[in-house]
Amino acid sequence: MDLAGKKIVLGLTGGIACYKAAELTRALMKEGASVQVVMTQSAMQFITAVTMQALSGRTVYTDQWDGRVANNMAHIDLTRDADAIVIAPCSADFMSKLMHGGCDDLLSTLCLARPAHLPFLIAPAMNVEMWQNPATQRNALQLKADGIALLGPDAGEQACGEVGMGRMLEPEQLLHEIVAAFQPKSLAGKRVLVTAGPTFEPIDPVRGLTNRSSGKMGYAVARAAYEAGAEVTLVSGPTALAAPHGVHRINVQTAEQMHDVVMAHAEANDVFVAVAAVADWRVANVSEQKLKKSGDSPAPLLQFEQNPDILAAVAARTNPPYCVGFAAESENLLQYGEEKRKKKNIPLLVGNIGPDTFGKDENELVVFDANGHKRLTLASKMQLARQLVAEISSRLP
């Protein structure tokens, strides 16, 4: 659980995206957080306090003058043992209030009274014109300058029927951002390039060769690097996974495409983590038309040629980024892992201990460097990715 023991004050302000706050509450609690909901009067036009109370299992606060609070200081009491304040959705009006330090209801007063060290995240949600209005843009800039984290908004269809910037992030994206707020920023200011997933090598226009990589480990590494403060580019073969929020994903199909994209980005990055299961060979005689079976004519013969080794090519550059490779061996991992690290001339190689980690959510790893090897015991791929990011950042010059 990524938020075990964390106490989150979740503020809701007036906006149709309040319905997503119900889902967010559940998601936060599933990760082990306790959620104290505070709502403005406008928020209660969109979703009831009863719903939020039932989901959070806690009394919802809506009023500065709440007779249940003995000292009448809910705005102080609620934040003093909190670990973070999240406002989702945050309306244009509430942003404006935060910018000016206005405090005419419980939620705004609580925000003004928050301890300075407390992580404070807001998820703007409003109509596209309201978001683009210079007044809101000024407010957004000032709030960032004040150290407030703005999560989104995103572009897309809006409840009003218009299309553009202003949609609140989805609950899962918000959850990931909140989890990220608690991670150490060991890669702040760094750029990280990650490959993930399988590649797909065509045989003809409808058929091709691929492998069982799900992309989960590579996507977890990309997300963990983003959590650690890096600017992340993820070069991904075909997978069913959504791009981690905040990560720039470039989709490719073949090993050659992956090679070209990676080489174009290698120089701009400080770290390169090659997690993709790249096909070693591609079909040399790709058919332009679909291969037809007809009568008892012989089965087609495929010829192969070798794909470029992307990791070795990046490592061979002058001034390469810090290169990290992965190895999936079915035997003798300790011997083959170290040999592979030396052969590819990379400082760090990560071996999968489990013989069959494809598609699974858990894994067990060994990391090899010039000083030897170290085990990362069985854990979720996300937890392992965070440990790996820590291993990488501690080795960066």
Binding mask 167-206 for ligand C5P (x = CB under 6 A): ----------------------------x-----------
Number of Cβ within a 10 Å radius of residue 141 = 12
Pairing of strands 120-124, 372-380: unpaired
**What is the smallest separation between the CB atom of 45 and ligand C5P, expressed in angstroms?**
52
Site string for ligand C5P, 228-267 (x = CB under 6 A): ---------------------------x------------
CB-nearer residue toward ligand C5P: 165 or 346? 346
H-helix segments, the chain = 18-30, 49-56, 74-80, 92-100, 106-112, 128-132, 134-145, 171-181, 216-227, 255-266, 310-315, 333-343, 381-395
Residue 55: which of 75, 40, 34 has the closest Cα?
Answer: 34
Residue from 17, 274, 365, 388 touching ligand C5P (CB under 6 A): that is 274
Closest by CA position to 263, among listed 309, 211, 201, 200:
309
Q: For ligand C5P, how many residues bind (rule: CB under 6 A)? A: 13
CB 228 within 8 A of CB 222: no
Structure tokens at 334: 């300790």
Should residue 278 be labelled a site residue for ligand C5P when binding is judged by CB under 6 A?
yes
Dist. CA 181–CA 17, nearest whole Å? 22
C-beta of 75 vs 340, nearer to ligand C5P: 340
The candidate with the shortest Cα–Cα distance to 107, out of 237, 176, 13, 222, is 13
Q: Treating both helix axes as pointing N-terminal to C-terminal, what angle do 171-181 and 18-30 enclose, rounded to 10 degrees? A: 50
325 binds ligand C5P (CB under 6 A): yes
Pick the catalytic residue: 18, 103, 160, 323? 160
Q: Closest CB to ligand C5P among 12 and 255?
A: 255
Q: Which of these segments, 6-14, 152-160, 303-311, 367-375, binds ligand C5P (CB under 6 A)?
A: 303-311
Given the structure tokens 């419980």, which residue do they identify? 106
User: Is residue 202 reached through a cis peptide bond, with omega within 30 degrees of 0 on the bond before it?
Assistant: no
- Between the CA atoms of 264, 266, 267 and 269, what dihedral angle is there, to the nearest 10 degrees? 130
Among this protein's residues, is 103 annotated catalytic? no
User: Judged by CB, which is closer to ligand C5P: 8, or 235?
Assistant: 235
DSSP 236-288: E-S-SPPPPTT-EEEE--SHHHHHHHHHHHHTT-SEEEE--B--SEEESS--S
Among 194, 311, 376, 388, which residue interacts with ligand C5P (rule: CB under 6 A)?
A: 311
Please say whether the beta carbons of 191 and 231 come within 8 A.
Answer: yes
Q: Which stretch binds ligand C5P (CB under 6 A): 122-130, 233-241, 323-331, 367-375?
A: 323-331
Pick 61 or 368: Cβ nearer ligand C5P: 368
- The least distance separating ligand C5P from the CB of residue 307, rounded to whole angstroms, comes to 5
Rounded to the nearest whole angstrom, what is the least distance from the CB of residue 196 to ligand C5P in the complex? 9
Nearer residue to ligand C5P within complex by CB, 110 or 274 = 274
| Minimum CB distance to ligand C5P, residue 229 (Å) | 24
CB-nearer residue toward ligand C5P: 106 or 235: 235
Q: Does 326 bind ligand C5P (CB under 6 A)?
A: yes
- The piece of 2-10, 53-61, 182-190, 322-330 that touches ligand C5P (CB under 6 A) is 322-330
Rule CB under 6 A: say whether 220 interacts with ligand C5P.
no
Amino acid identity, position 110: L
Q: Which residues bind ligand C5P (CB under 6 A)?
A: 195, 255, 274-276, 278, 307, 309-311, 325-327
Catalytic residues: 160
